[in-house]
Structure 1
Amino acid sequence: MSHPSSTKKEGTRPAWSRHFIFVLRVLRGIGKPFFLILVGFVFLLSVALLVLIRSIKASIRMLRFMSKYLLQFSAKLLHFLGHISIILIKTSRRFLERAVTTLLTVKNLLLWTGIVLRRLFVTIIRFEHLSVLVITITVVTIAISLIYLWMLILKDLPPVTALANRQPILTTRIFDRNGKLLYKFFKNENRTLIPLSDIPLSVRQATIAIEDKDFYSHQGISIRGVARSMWKNLSSGTLSGGSTITQQLVKNVLLSPEKTWRRKIREAILAVDVEWNFSKDQILEMYLNQVPFGGNTYGIAEAAETYLGKQVQDLNLAEAAYLAGLPASPTELSPYGTNPQLAIIRQNEVLDKMIENNFITQETAERARRVVIKILPPNTNILAPHFVMYIRDILNEKYGSTIVEQGGLQVYTSLDLDIQEVVQKQVTEEINKDRFLRITNGAALVTKPQTGEVLAMVGSRDYFDTLHQGNVNATVALRQPGSAIKPINYAAALANGFTAATIIPDTPVTFRIPGQPPYSPTNYDRRFHGNIPLRIALGSSYNIPAVKVLSAIGVFRMIEQGKKMGITTWDDPSRFGLSLTLGGGEVRMTELAVAYGSIANLGLRVDLHPILRIDDSRGHTIQEFTCTDTRLPPPSTSTGFSTNFMENSTPLREKVSCEKQFALDPGVAFILSDILADNSARTPAFGPNSYLVVPNQRVSVKTGTTNDLRDNWTIGFTPNFLVATWVGNFDGSPMAAVASGITGASPIWNKIMASLLNKPHDILVATPADVVKTEICPLTGTLSCAQCPNKKTEYFLSGTAPTTICSEGDIQRILQTKQELENKQNSNGSLN
């Protein structure tokens, strides 16, 4: 909306205003050559003034008379100021010290001024020919002062016509990988312009009453307001207050918000100029359309819509007073802030001011106070909200919030909105079905392990569910991973002498560490399983073997292995003990996905890269992710940017590569992937047809459930996709005892992975050169023999395969021991 200039008739302005504007415009148009002419003119004028010398003599006599009493006047002035000082000393010692110094300076200045004037006047009387010199110096001094004033204050003043032609701040847009708009970030632009005629009188009166009661009588600046703010500034040592509505408009639109005397002076000058070029109604209209109301809401129309869900024309007095009070401190008074009651207190202040200015009566105000203000909950049209906010945090850290909110960036992310919607649907539906398990929230993350691209990120069941803290993003929150962390422990074990065939006793054990209570780990099923190979121990997620393995290799080795694989939260090893392998150290889902991704990548760690490309507002690419063959679309024409910008773009300023880092031996990663994909290895604990099985697909997967039933995980991968899921409660309350990796997170994981792998196909992973296959007897962990009941081909790192052969006696003894253990546990009914 533009506002045509309407210069007012000369008769409608006071004389001082017309003269001031005339001088102001002359000074703004003056250049250096004109000042040289001005100095010459002044000199000629001084010579002409010689004829006035006789008249000057009479003036000098009067000045001598005045200077005679100058010292007497200064003494009386000092006497009066002394009384003022006595009063001030009672209120502020610091102010007194400052005042005394100032008074002494004034006293000395007055004394010296009187002496200089007397001597100067005597000299002028004696030497009449010096009068011309004095006049010349005075005029030149004034001219130089005006030049300095022009350079300091008036130079580069923005034209007030910018108020009518202001360009909007650019909006940053977030897209998915296919160019679908996810969200827009903007600042100072979420507004709807509205003419003053459509703004109710109550809104205008409320605004004038609380912001500038003399609005319709002053000429841009309020003398009373300036005096009041100057006294406050001098007494407090700060710079604030005293701005009229016109000055606020100038500050918000034409000047920077810095708090300096120079800016305040420029603000006042421009305010007078604005008053000269625009009518009062035009100024008020621009103010009400430009003023901030909190957050991204600017202008009275958008404030009424955002906070109250109303058209501005439909506001009642109570609502008008409520909104009129917000611009004074939009953040502190925000209805969505930490203390929304402050806005009600401010509303009452506005009503009181309206009474003082005779806009309303006391009775009318009391009726307005009784009206309940109904604030709408925050509402935003945003797709993949957790992911969008995740991207915002990354951009803020890299470019700063100002660029993100005003710079007009076009950000193309790795997210696939189609996959995102499927993932969100599965999380929401499953959590709704699991309410009887006391589960209120869930999360899921889908990535491409080879490139680190994030295809989907769902941080909760419902982002807008305030009852269950839906805005929390569980994919980046610190949570205990339960048994989902075990692959890191076993990766360190395989790198330090263990093999997939190593026999580990799943038998009762108590660890006694000096200074700590005895630690006796138990399995999830509360049973012991005797001697089992590492493959079964990991596949069935038994706790006791995992703790024994960690005890053998050392906690520090697991911590170092985790750091190599992308875990950043294990920064203090002294905090962790043997329970680390059972999930005793908190991690983020995003980091756990990187760790599992390094297994999928045969030992190469690739950090997450959720941004594929960033273009600036002109369409020039300023960052591009080079670890992908994805062909990105040009910006949509609906964004307002050219679709052929790549033809005219400048050279890239930054290219982001995969930065693949070695995290673990390829053979170790291969064996881990094979164990996690082995359904027979997990069958003893989960059965043959669990949710960990994706029909016609070979997928590596691991579950995790914390002992206190507060976190439930499932993470699985193929070379092309990685899916991590979690369920639990953000308030820390435990789930029902029947909740497990099979009943909670696994169904979500299974449905997401099945939708990604919707066509049967063979995923061939080349066997690393340092991996060999050998036939073994799983009961003994040795080479197979004729008497072995369940021969199996096992993978080994070169040089770690067994060399001994099983015997019939060893097999019989092992089978007998397992049977005795089983009979004992069955007779007891539970684990002892």
Structure 2
Amino acid sequence: MGSKNPKTNYNEILAPALVPKAFKLISRLLVFVGKPFFFLFSLLLIISLSIIYITGRILKALVVTLHSFFTLIFPSISKYLTLTYDLIRTSSKKITSSLPQKNLKKKGTIFSSSQLKLKIMLLILKRIINNLLRESLVYFKKIKVKSEKLSWKAEVFLLTLEKLISKFFVILKTKFTFFHLLELLQIFLLAQKIKLLRLSYFLPKLRIRKFSILKFLTYIFTFSLIILGMAGAFFWFYVIRDLPSPQNLISRKMAVSTKIYDRNGGLLYNIYRNQNRTPVSLRNIPLEARLATIAIEDAEFYNHPGFSIKGIARASLKNLRQGELTGGSTITQQLVKNTLLSPEKTLVRKLKEIVLAVQVELTFSKDQILEMYMNEVSYGGTAYGVQTASLTYFGKDIKDLNLAEAALLAGLPKSPTYYSPFGPNPEKAKERQKEVLKLMKINGFITEKQKKSAETHEIKFAQNQTSIKAPHYVFYVRELLEQKYSKELVEAGGLEVTTSLDLQIQNLAENIVKEEIEKLKSLNVTNAAVLVLNPKTGEVLAMVGSKDYFSIAEDGNVNVTLRPRQPGSSIKVVNYANALSNGLTPATILNDAPFTFHVDGQEPYTPKNYEGGYRGNISLRNALAESRNIPAVKTLALFGVESMIEMGQKMGITTWENPNNYGLSLTLGGGEVKLLDLATVYATLANYGKRPKLSALLKVTDTNQNVLEEFKCDSINEVDLVKDPKDTDVVSAATESAFNNALNDVQNCQGKQVLDPRIAFIITDILHDNNARSLSFGINSLLVIPNHKEVAVKTGTSNDLRDNLAIGYTQDYVVAVWVGNNNNSPMARISSGVTGATPIWNKIMTALLAQQSNHDWPIPAGLIQVPICSFTGTLACQGCPAKMEWFLEENKPKLACKQEWFNQKAILTPPPQNQNVLLPTQGNDRRNQFLDPILNLRYGKEKKNRR
């Protein structure tokens, strides 16, 4: 679709709604008032006067009602009151004399007796009647003189009063209820109905001080003026006083950029300090781009005076639910917020934003405001303004954009990193574009046909238009920064960020990946990812998320190091770390033979080794080193899936959540894991069981060079703890002390000891044992780094050949490599841990260690090394080949082998029949289920001795 469509007249669409008469009237009123402050003050004054007027009317009606009420019941009742006075007095005396006098003196009991309450009521009534009689008797003689002139109204009044008094006495003798109150009200209403308002010939007019409504309103008005004055003073002092001038929009300086550096000061990413912005006039911005921005950001832009009541109300409801001040901003408010105000989120700042928005609307036209906004807003990275954004994403001038491209650009300002088509979530950019087109259709800016055409239009993005280095890592860092700070501060706050990345290592890894992937095309391998960590500190030294970040055909902008993939056998270290923590040893004998597992509620499961063969009885050391699948599954069944998941979570895996989703294939890579998490697991092993907290940020400073955060972590010092292999005693006290001091040096790092350091050492010792893995990988495989026998390494390949990994480490580096395809298609069968990811791993690790000398791993305290029988895993005996093996001091073997226990040929030959075992669902001690008879005898003997 071109930038212009002759069938659509957008001016006809906008013309009726752009400047309605109501807005013109409001604008003239605002101009007449002058300042927004006085306009708001006048509005508040009118509301206050309205409230005062309504309150006065209510009070006036109340006073008239009370006056009528008192004039009704206070006329002279001398005759009736004289006759009833003696009766009331006599009754009162009788009741008082019948009550116990002691109750009248006790505190807390006077109101607990219904009789006392009645007495008090009667006494009060007596006093009232006395006062009335005293006043009425004065006029008694005058009434006698006028008695012959009584009207029928007076007679009716006296009859009504008689009924009232008689009813009152009935109520006094019984329990007063709500219905009695209704009866009394009926009597009063009867008197009101006959309009006997005043009988001047019984009593003189009741003298009630006249209530002055005017005086009352004067008080209320004065009080309101004081309150409004105080509110106005507060509003002026905190909101109006230091407001910047709207003219600053055209005279201000641009925001300062943020720069991201590697650990050595090399620039990775630069949002220019003066911002990469090319201002463009509104007439050069195609109407499609303007309409798209209005539709997604502020559909009522041409109809409001700077702020939207609907938007504020909608945002207020959201704020009440979420407890934070967000949303509700118009385009004008966003322009004010981004250019004239601070990014703080407070109510005062929001009020300033609204007032300034109104002032800006009075100072500039709508088209001027829209032009300033579209030249100011960030579209991600260094692209500020639509012109730079158009060049960055599409490599074309803004005036040449079509509707599909304009809609995509319009959706970016809300969250440029998240919606960026060059970011880690390119699919989100497409979803956002569709949302923009939908709103354009709803607001009548485009037709349904145009909407569908734009949604299906294939967008061609610009190639290599930025000078970004290590792009996957940069976007990873930016997301971390945005989580800690606001998006505005990250993109235009002048931050200077020193990261943990080593650009030299990054470039090395990128080049090796590109070179080796070209060699793997015949194996249907198109992509690779690499991570390099410092296991002591958790610093990310290199992150290659794909072969080519800018490769659209292969989704190169997807960061595979952050995506869950199947780890294959590389995850076995978690299973065996858990097994060693629960009592097994490197010398434990496992049976590598055909086996079918029957678990209640699940299909039978028969694991197979990678090459399809079997080893028979094999030690745990060799089972891990050779990556045998069947012994690994048997070991997992021995301790349970939940136990392995718990160990994995401790070591850094974040994707394993519900144990019910996994089975025995978990130890073969059945549970997806992020490469970043897997690298953390191996860093935990390299760090002697202490899981480091990954860190990509070393230092962050603001535009004034104030340090916002700084990473400080001391590495473990180089300590020579090499032991003589012939020495089978426990590590000496001096060695223990040196090792503990080395471990204490890392306490400043934010890590957690999640695995016994001795277990971590044993796993490491197995993974760098080239002799133990030679039967499967050969003695001179690519897993061997020349002159660096200390390198520990493990490979992994998923069963469906979609993922292939190699992960190795030393005390200084963890290198994790993945190869495969982003479209999840399988690789060729001949690809394996040696032919797929291993060549990349080997070249990177060789380059990293080129300037380092070979060294051994320090031995933690509490380990012993003893000679054992290779066939039985027990202490060596005559006739059995012996080898040295590591044991926890408390778990060292106590039983020596005997010649009749083993037969080398029988042990190395798998049993002819297939074993089928039903796994129990209860019980914790299942160590002997899959172990050979010699191991059963050894464990049984130990148990007997312990008993």
Question: Same fold, TM exceeding 0.5?
Answer: yes
1:670 correspondence with 2:761 = yes
Residue 415 of structure 1 deviates from its aligned partner by 0.8
- Counterpart position of 2:485: 399
- Counterpart position of 2:645: 559
1:338 correspondence with 2:431 = yes
- Counterpart position of 1:697: 788
Q: Residue 523 of structure 2 contacts residue 827 of structure 2 at CA under 8 Å; is this kept in 1?
A: yes
Q: Tell me which amino acid in the other structure corresponds to 2:713.
A: C
- Counterpart position of 2:513: 427
CA distance in 1, matches of 2:575, 2:288: 70
Alignment of 1:367-446 (within 5 A): 376-377=461-462, 379-446=465-532
Give 3-state SS (helix, strand or coil) of 1:667's partner: helix
Residue 757 of structure 1 deviates from its aligned partner by 0.7
Q: Residue 408 of structure 2 contacts residue 430 of structure 2 at CA under 8 Å; is this kept in 1?
A: no
Taking a change above 3 Å as real, the CA distance of residues 295 and 488 of structure 1, as seen in their structure-2 partners, is closer
Residue 744 of structure 1 deviates from its aligned partner by 1.0
Residue 543 of structure 1 deviates from its aligned partner by 0.8
1:776 correspondence with 2:865 = no
Taking a change above 3 Å as real, the CA distance of residues 291 and 421 of structure 1, as seen in their structure-2 partners, is closer
Residue 745 of structure 1 deviates from its aligned partner by 1.0
- Counterpart position of 1:450: 536
Residue 739 of structure 1 deviates from its aligned partner by 1.6
- Counterpart position of 1:587: 673
1:578 correspondence with 2:684 = no
Offset from partner CA, 1:247-300 (integer Å, 9 cap, x none): 99768755799999988984675247525xxx9998897566446778875445
- Counterpart position of 2:904: 814
Q: Tell me which amino acid in the other structure corresponds to 1:691.
A: L
Offset from partner CA, 1:146-168 (integer Å, 9 cap, x none): 99889768934431331222233
Taking a change above 3 Å as real, the CA distance of residues 538 and 23 of structure 1, as seen in their structure-2 partners, is closer
- Counterpart position of 1:706: 798
Residue 673 of structure 1 deviates from its aligned partner by 1.1
Residue 345 of structure 1 deviates from its aligned partner by 9.5
Taking a change above 3 Å as real, the CA distance of residues 757 and 328 of structure 1, as seen in their structure-2 partners, is closer
Q: Residue 535 of structure 2 contacts residue 814 of structure 2 at CA under 8 Å; is this kept in 1?
A: yes
- Counterpart position of 1:159: 245
1:686 correspondence with 2:780 = no
CA distance in 1, matches of 2:699, 2:571: 33
Give 3-state SS (helix, strand or coil) of 1:783's partner: coil
Structural RMSD (CA): 5.5
Choose from 800, 815, 822 the match for 1:730: 822
Q: Residue 576 of structure 1 contacts residue 584 of structure 1 at CA under 8 Å; is this kept in 2?
A: yes
CA distance in 2, matches of 1:734, 1:170: 48
- Counterpart position of 1:37: none
CA distance in 1, matches of 2:404, 2:666: 58
Q: Residue 187 of structure 1 contacts residue 296 of structure 1 at CA under 8 Å; is this kept in 2?
A: no
CA distance in 2, matches of 1:265, 1:717: 57
Give 3-state SS (helix, strand or coil) of 2:808's partner: strand
Alignment of 1:597-746 (within 5 A): 597-628=683-714, 657-698=748-789, 699-746=791-838
CA distance in 1, matches of 2:757, 2:310: 75
Q: Tell me which amino acid in the other structure corresponds to 1:433.
A: K
- Counterpart position of 2:923: none
Q: Residue 386 of structure 1 contacts residue 459 of structure 1 at CA under 8 Å; is this kept in 2?
A: yes
Give 3-state SS (helix, strand or coil) of 2:564's partner: coil
Residue 794 of structure 1 deviates from its aligned partner by 2.1
Residue 463 of structure 1 deviates from its aligned partner by 1.9
Q: Tell me which amino acid in the other structure corresponds to 1:796.
A: F
Residue 302 of structure 1 deviates from its aligned partner by 2.4
Give 3-state SS (helix, strand or coil) of 2:560's partner: coil
Question: Mind listing any 5+ residue stretches in structure 1 that lack a counterpart?
Answer: 1-13, 29-104, 116-133, 212-220, 354-368, 631-654, 825-832
CA distance in 2, matches of 1:533, 1:205: 70
Alignment of 1:90-169 (within 5 A): 155-156=240-241, 157-169=243-255
Q: Residue 525 of structure 2 contacts residue 819 of structure 2 at CA under 8 Å; is this kept in 1?
A: yes
CA distance in 1, matches of 2:482, 2:548: 25
Q: Residue 407 of structure 2 contacts residue 436 of structure 2 at CA under 8 Å; is this kept in 1?
A: no
- Counterpart position of 2:851: 759
Taking a change above 3 Å as real, the CA distance of residues 760 and 296 of structure 1, as seen in their structure-2 partners, is closer
CA distance in 2, matches of 1:672, 1:556: 21
CA distance in 2, matches of 1:623, 1:457: 22
Give 3-state SS (helix, strand or coil) of 2:532's partner: strand
Give 3-state SS (helix, strand or coil) of 1:450's partner: coil
Q: Tell me which amino acid in the other structure corresponds to 2:363.
A: V
Tell me which structure has the larger Cα radius of gyration. Answer: 2
Q: Tell me which amino acid in the other structure corresponds to 1:437.
A: L
CA distance in 2, matches of 1:604, 1:334: 37
Q: Residue 395 of structure 2 contacts residue 462 of structure 2 at CA under 8 Å; is this kept in 1?
A: no
Taking a change above 3 Å as real, the CA distance of residues 629 and 620 of structure 1, as seen in their structure-2 partners, is farther
- Counterpart position of 2:548: 462
Q: Tell me which amino acid in the other structure corresponds to 1:658.
A: C
- Counterpart position of 1:749: 841
- Counterpart position of 1:274: 363
Residue 476 of structure 1 deviates from its aligned partner by 2.0
Q: Residue 292 of structure 1 contacts residue 299 of structure 1 at CA under 8 Å; is this kept in 2?
A: yes
Give 3-state SS (helix, strand or coil) of 1:521's partner: coil
Offset from partner CA, 1:507-566 (integer Å, 9 cap, x none): 122222222222221111101111122221111011111122222333333233323322
Taking a change above 3 Å as real, the CA distance of residues 616 and 656 of structure 1, as seen in their structure-2 partners, is farther
Taking a change above 3 Å as real, the CA distance of residues 250 and 742 of structure 1, as seen in their structure-2 partners, is closer
Taking a change above 3 Å as real, the CA distance of residues 454 and 344 of structure 1, as seen in their structure-2 partners, is closer
Greater shift, 453-462 or 433-442, is seen at 433-442
Q: Tell me which amino acid in the other structure corresponds to 2:645.
A: I
Choose from 569, 573, 582 the match for 2:655: 569
Taking a change above 3 Å as real, the CA distance of residues 701 and 328 of structure 1, as seen in their structure-2 partners, is closer
1:495 correspondence with 2:495 = no
Taking a change above 3 Å as real, the CA distance of residues 776 and 23 of structure 1, as seen in their structure-2 partners, is closer
Q: Residue 325 of structure 1 contacts residue 346 of structure 1 at CA under 8 Å; is this kept in 2?
A: no
CA distance in 1, matches of 2:36, 2:641: 81
Greater shift, 566-575 or 590-599, is seen at 566-575
CA distance in 2, matches of 1:428, 1:323: 34
Offset from partner CA, 1:110-138 (integer Å, 9 cap, x none): xx9xx9xxxxxxxxxxxxxxxxxx9xx99
Give 3-state SS (helix, strand or coil) of 1:579's partner: helix
Choose from 279, 282, 288 the match for 1:193: 279
Residue 421 of structure 1 deviates from its aligned partner by 0.8
Taking a change above 3 Å as real, the CA distance of residues 164 and 489 of structure 1, as seen in their structure-2 partners, is same
CA distance in 2, matches of 1:796, 1:26: 81
Offset from partner CA, 1:291-322 (integer Å, 9 cap, x none): 6778875445325534553456xx46x86998
Residue 752 of structure 1 deviates from its aligned partner by 0.7
Q: Residue 294 of structure 1 contacts residue 326 of structure 1 at CA under 8 Å; is this kept in 2?
A: no
Taking a change above 3 Å as real, the CA distance of residues 408 and 775 of structure 1, as seen in their structure-2 partners, is same
Offset from partner CA, 1:680-718 (integer Å, 9 cap, x none): 111111111211111111211111111111211111111
1:528 correspondence with 2:614 = yes
CA distance in 2, matches of 1:714, 1:140: 80
Residue 569 of structure 1 deviates from its aligned partner by 3.0
Residue 674 of structure 1 deviates from its aligned partner by 1.2
Question: Mind listing any 5+ residue stretches in structure 2 that lack a counterpart?
Answer: 1-23, 39-49, 61-216, 295-300, 318-328, 422-428, 447-453, 717-745, 915-947
- Counterpart position of 2:187: none
Structure-1-length-normalised TM-score: 0.65
Give 3-state SS (helix, strand or coil) of 2:646's partner: helix
Q: Tell me which amino acid in the other structure corresponds to 2:709.
A: Q
